[in-house]
Copies of this chain bind each other. A is one copy, B any other.
Amino acid sequence: MAMKQEESSRTRRARDVAAWHDEADVVVVGFGAAGACTAIEAAETGADVLVLERSGGGGGTSAISGGLLYMGGGTPVQQACGYEDSAEEMFRFLMAALGPEPDEAKIRLFCEHSVSHFHWLESHGVPFKRSFYPEPGLEAPTDDCLVFSGGEDGYPFDRIAQPAPRAHKPQYPAAAGGFLMQKLVAATERSGAKIVCDARTDALVVEDDGRVTGIVARHDGRERFVRARRGVVLTAGGFIKNEEMVAKHQPRIAACSFKLGVDGDDGRAIRMAMAAGAETIRMDAAEVALPLTPPRRLVRGIVVNRHGQRFINEDTYYGRVGQEALLRHDGHVYLIVDNAIYERNAIGFEATFVEETIEELERSVGLPEGSLQATVQLYNRFAVRGEDPVFHKGTALLQPLVSPPFAAIDCRPDKVLWATFTLGGLHTRTTGEVLDPDGGEIAGLYAAGRTTSGIAAYGYCSGISLGDATFFGREAGRNAATTGRGDKA
């Protein structure tokens, strides 16, 4: 029971707080990309800012990511690389790719101010090389910047919006999440925000009228009460590292071997807010990546489910392939290739079964009799003409499977790497205000980043998390800083 008590995220009453150990206008909980941008913007708006980070330093999950930021509408990098884009095309793409029913107001704001957000990041020390890298989906292994990261140039999106690459990687010769966070931590320090690390926030402090006016943190082994004169902003990540929450909200992703996050992604900030009456939405939403590529040539093969059926254009964003494969086909999928296509996948996927005919391969894999044969026959019939009437894979990657031997790569979650993280969380306005289930705001409480349900309602593209976290972190920081100053109606 003592354990339980200590771990509770129930709210504390302001009337019971004997003394405040510290105070600030804006208290930011968590110091990843969202927290840093919240703090910078709040400080630059004139607020006195305190950032509390549970681990030993700034970074969070942002620092272990690839560092891609989804931005568009005609950024200097897009222009330098010869890609035309507009806020409207970006909006149309994101509304289609991030749904069903994504938050239209958030996506609208995100797109309209994307170019200025790019400039804001550069002006705060994050450099972007004016270059394009042709392998889509993932950050470049070089210091190049721009990639296609959401299947923009393939079916069905190329029919919905003018394709443009929009994922921007900071100029660093590898995965750039750590580099990005170095720059954002430095900018936060320059902004004048006070940063306290090794301080785990346990609960919100609430007035009798429901207004959030502080937090309780554990620091140096003691409980500290910190008053927030204008607002508390929760930017403490998602809940992918909380097994119980995953089991309760999206049990299917538990099978994925790579749960992308740091220990702090235990959903605590979400639970703290729920204790104050906040609403959570889309808690079942998750990104699920099945990284078939690189090399890109492998998607000349076909991905089939346990019924031997294809279910998607294999050349689309691998995060879409993974979501469909896990959430609609129970992760029971195989990549089928022939000798002309096969090559060892960059992260180690290897042929599980190799046979001289499709019929034998079907039997070895244990697919239903006739199923894979029918699928390959139909696929080949049109692939020879560069067509794929069923799933619309692009002509460039259409190639009939005719060169023996044929191979199947068993892609089930217990066989190869699948990467996942949660997308659901607190329901917020574009301003970062946290909402209750009736649609009213919880006064004094804001959130951004993976603690919230952001622009990715269900669908996803690489770069959305950092794009969303940095952009709406700034919105939350500016709005929290102006609360109670009469700047708002």
Residues of A within 8 A of B (CB): 4, 7-11, 13, 99-101, 208, 210, 244-245, 247-249, 251-252, 267, 270-271, 274-277, 279-284, 307-311, 328-329, 368-371, 374-375, 377-378, 381-382, 389-391, 427, 436-440, 457
A248 and chain B: residue at smallest CB distance: B281
Contacts of A283 in B (CB 8 A): 281, 283-284
> A interface, by DSSP: helix, strand, loop or mixed?
loop
For the complex with contacts A101-B251, A274-B436, 14 further pairs of A-B residues with Cβ separation under 8 Å are A4-B438, A249-B281, A249-B282, A274-B274, A275-B277, A276-B277, A280-B280, A281-B283, A307-B311, A308-B390, A309-B309, A328-B328, A368-B390, A370-B378
Contacts of A271 in B (CB 8 A): 436-438
Alpha-carbon separation in the docked complex, A369 to B388 (Å)? 9
Can you identify 27 A-B contacts, CB atoms within 8 angstroms? A7-B438, A9-B437, A10-B210, A99-B251, A100-B252, A101-B247, A245-B437, A248-B282, A249-B282, A251-B457, A267-B437, A270-B437, A274-B437, A275-B436, A276-B277, A280-B280, A281-B283, A284-B284, A307-B391, A308-B390, A328-B329, A369-B382, A370-B382, A370-B390, A371-B390, A374-B377, A374-B378
Q: Looking at the complex, which one of B8, B251, B307, B438 makes contact with A440 (CB distance below 8 Å)? A: B8
Alpha-carbon separation in the docked complex, A369 to B274 (Å)? 51
A381 and chain B: residue at smallest CB distance: B370
A247 and chain B: residue at smallest CB distance: B101
Contacts of A267 in B (CB 8 A): 437
A328 and chain B: residue at smallest CB distance: B328
Alpha-carbon separation in the docked complex, A279 to B11 (Å)? 14
Contacts of A368 in B (CB 8 A): 389-390
Contacts of A249 in B (CB 8 A): 281-282
- Indicate how many identical chains form the complex: 2
Contacts of A390 in B (CB 8 A): 307-308, 368, 370-371
The 9 closest A-B pairs by CB, nearest first: A101-B251, A271-B437, A368-B389, A284-B284, A368-B390, A328-B328, A275-B277, A248-B281, A374-B378
Alpha-carbon separation in the docked complex, A9 to B150 (Å)? 40
Contact B280–A11 (Cβ < 8 Å):
no
Contacts of A389 in B (CB 8 A): 368-371
Q: A100-B252, A307-B390, A381-B370 are in contact. Are A277 and B280 (CB under 8 A)?
A: no
Contact A10–B391 (Cβ < 8 Å):
no
Q: A274-B277, A280-B280, A282-B249 are in contact. Are A10 and B436 (CB under 8 A)?
A: yes
Alpha-carbon separation in the docked complex, A375 to B377 (Å)? 12
A435 and chain B: residue at smallest CB distance: B248
Contacts of A280 in B (CB 8 A): 280
Q: How far apart are A64's CB and chain B's nearest CB, in angstroms?
A: 25
Alpha-carbon separation in the docked complex, A359 to B404 (Å)? 31
